[in-house]
Amino acid sequence: MPSNHKLAADLLAKAKKLNQEDPLASFKSEFLLPQNVIYVDGNSLGPLSKAAKNRAVEVVEQQWGNSLISSWNVHDWINLPTTVGNKIAKLIGAAPNTVICCDSISVNLFKLLSAALLLSAKQAADDKTDARTLILSQKDNFPTDLYMVQGLGQLLNSGTQTKLELMSVDSKDITRSIEEHGHRIAVLMLTHVNFRNGDIHDLQALTELAHAKGILVLWDLAHSAGVLPLALEECEVDFAVGCTYKYLNGGPGAPGFAYVAERLLPDLQQPLSGWLGHKKPFDFEHDYEKAAGIEQLLCGTPSIISMSVLDAALDMFETISVSDLRAKSIALNDFFQSCVEQINASYSPSDSPLVLACNEQAQMRGSQISYKHPHAYAICQALISEGVISDFRSPDILRIGFSPLFLHFTDMLNAALILTSIVRTKRYTQPQFLIKNKVT
Ligand SMILES: *Cc1c(COP(=O)(O)O)cnc(C)c1O
């Protein structure tokens, strides 16, 4: 139809103009993306950069291969968790030496939740009040966050006394729960950006509110680090965790990070008291004595190959401000949404349309858009078969992520054209798109 051709031409002109005005456009060439792929899943696994690939070769061939064990000193492997931690600290508004790179979010949650409970119990003893037993979170938090609390509860509640209970509420009830149950809550544990719908919590306001009730606060930054401006130090956040394989492009299974406010480090105690968290690991003493600084969160030997690759991937962020990343992410998100809406409006209404499953305004969402559709899984598979890599989140969410470093506005238009066409023509009903993979 001519009207559709005119619309497509108008949108293409707009996309090209936006590309020209984009100060981050040239970063795409720093990545090794396959030809003919539009990668809108950088929020799940960031792509390979040239720097990361080169470092992978270097760390294996030169460092491990040639320098062998001396690399711990010669290539400073031993300090990699803090070197990388400090690069991440700059991206999340944390003070130097308050972030360490290690383990996964799940494991870091265990360490920090345990440490927070011990601090809270000590405070209650000092104040001669009852120990607080609740960890407050939200029902649709990422499951591992809730599971880790449940597992920790099983361990702690094995005696006669209940020492830990998970209280998970709807997002809209968090403030009220803090007001009503504040004196019983030890820790408020929330994910800054919701993984399904991209809702963003007011980190500063909730941290302040919790602190006013004597509650320690732990933020999960999985969908924020590297794409949303954060000011952990300024907001006086107590604890945070995050992963590095999403927007930080660290590679599959790259180690996560943990943040502890400087003021809490002296009295902190975490239960995974492995040798590398010891004050003097190479004195091989009998008794554990924790390191004074953020190194106390280390447990065992770090995965050097993976952490080195991450270290190289992070260098790209050195010259970019997070507010520029956020501005581009909103612009991509907004342009994609408006392309989908305008293309759909140019056809007669579809009998099974995509329904927005997130805030309507791009600036109110994390770096993603979510649509609800009964056949979301098959649509996602059909998209992948046509070169648009997105992901599906059970039960019915199609999630498109906007990683601002390697996406262009023309990619957004092309992805919108393919998505709307798949839904309109019902190409997703082909049987091969119904086969469920283990990873979605
Ligand atoms: C991706 C993600 C995780 C993943 O946890 P790992 O232990 O690193 O596998 C945890 N929490 C949230 C909110 C996430 O989005």
pLDDT tens digit sequence for 312-361: 999 999 999 999 999 999 999 999 999 999 999 999 888 889 999 999 99
Range of the domain at 251: 60-319
Can you tell me the mean pLDDT for 114-118? 98
| CA 270/CA 110 separation, integer angstroms | 9
74, 148: one domain: yes
How far apart are the CA of 20 and the centre of ligand 1, in A?
Answer: 35
Residue 106 marked in a binding site: yes
- Please compute the mean of the pLDDT values over residues 135-147 and round it to a whole number: 98
pTM: 0.97
Model pLDDT, residue 123: 97
Single out the residue in 273, 304, 319 at which a domain terminates: 319
Selected catalytic residue, list 245, 247, 336, 428: 245
239 is catalytic: no
426 lies in the same domain as 306: no
Overall number of domains in the chain: 2
List, for residues 216-234, the tens digit of each pLDDT value: 999 999 999 999 999 999 9
- Please indicate whether residue 246 is annotated as part of the active site: yes
- Separation of 63 CA from ligand 1 center, angstroms? 30
pLDDT in tens, 29-45: 999 999 999 999 999 99
288 is catalytic: no
Question: Average pLDDT in the 373-399 region?
Answer: 96
Q: Is residue 381 part of a domain?
A: yes
pLDDT (0 to 100) of residue 184: 98
438 CB burial (10 A radius; 0-12, 13-18, 19+)? exposed
Give mean pLDDT, residues 406-424: 97
* Confidence bin at 201 (pLDDT 50/70/90): very high
Of the candidates 302, 319, 336, which is a domain's last residue?
319
Whether residue 406 sits in one domain with residue 273:
no
Exposure letters 72-96 (e unless 16+ CB within 10 A, then b): beebebbebbbebbbbbbebbbbee
Residue 351 is predicted with a pLDDT of: 82
Mean pLDDT, to the nearest integer, of 401-420?
98
Q: Is 142 a catalytic residue?
A: yes
Residue 308's pLDDT is: 98
| Ligand 1 atom at shortest distance from the alpha carbon of 106 | 7
- Does residue 1 surpass a pLDDT of 80? no
Boundary residue ending a domain (319, 340, 365): 319
Kindly report the average pLDDT of the chain as a whole number: 97
- Indicate if 241 and 192 belong to the same structural domain: yes
Do residues 69 and 26 both lie within one domain?
no
| Residues 63, 312: Cα–Cα separation, whole Å | 14
Q: Report d(CA 227, CA 368) in Å as an integer.
A: 11
Same domain? For 16 and 84 the reply is: no
Our mutation pick for probing the ligand 1 site, out of 43, 88, 106, 145, counting the most ligand atoms within 8 A of Cβ, is: 106
Indicate whether 130 and 262 sit together in one domain. Answer: yes
Q: Are 234 and 259 found together in one domain?
A: yes
CATH number at residue 159: 3.40.640.10
- Beta-carbon contacts of 227 under 8 Å, excluding residues fewer than 6 positions away, are 247, 322, 325, 326, 329, 366, 367, 403, 404
* Whole-number percent of the chain with pLDDT over 70: 99
Tell whether 289 and 340 lie within a shared domain. no
Whether 436 is a known active-site residue: answer: no
CA 334, distance to chain mean position in Å, is 21
Q: Reply yes or no on whether the pLDDT at 284 is more than 70.
A: yes
Residue 67 counted as domain residue: yes
3-state secondary structure of 420: helix
List the beta bridge partners of residue 216: 187
Cα(405)–Cα(403) distance, rounded to whole angstroms? 6
Closest to 400 measured CA to CA, from 362, 347, 346, 343: 362
- Cα(145) to ligand 1 centroid in Å equals 8
Q: Which residues line ligand 1 (CB under 6 A)?
A: 104-106, 142, 144-145, 191, 195, 220, 222-223, 243, 256
d(CA 289, CA 269): 10
Mark whether 207 and 241 lie in a shared domain. Answer: yes
* 292 and 404 fall within a common domain: no
Q: Do 221 and 92 share a structural domain?
A: yes
- Residue 343: give its domain's CATH number: 3.90.1150.10
Cβ distance 178 to 190 under 8 Å?
no
pLDDT of residue 2: 53
Q: Is residue 375 annotated as involved in ligand binding?
A: no
Could you count the other beta carbons within 10 Å of the beta carbon of residue 133? 20
Catalytic residue among 111, 132, 246, 328: 246
Could you tell me the distance, in angstroms and rounded to a whole number, from the CA of residue 241 to the centre of ligand 1? Answer: 9
Q: Is the pLDDT of residue 261 over 90?
A: yes
Is 67 assigned a ligand-binding role in the annotation?
no
Cα 13 to averaged position of ligand 1 atoms, centre (Å): 38
**Average confidence (pLDDT) over 75-85:** 98
Q: Do 205 and 152 form a contact (C-beta atoms < 8 A)? A: no
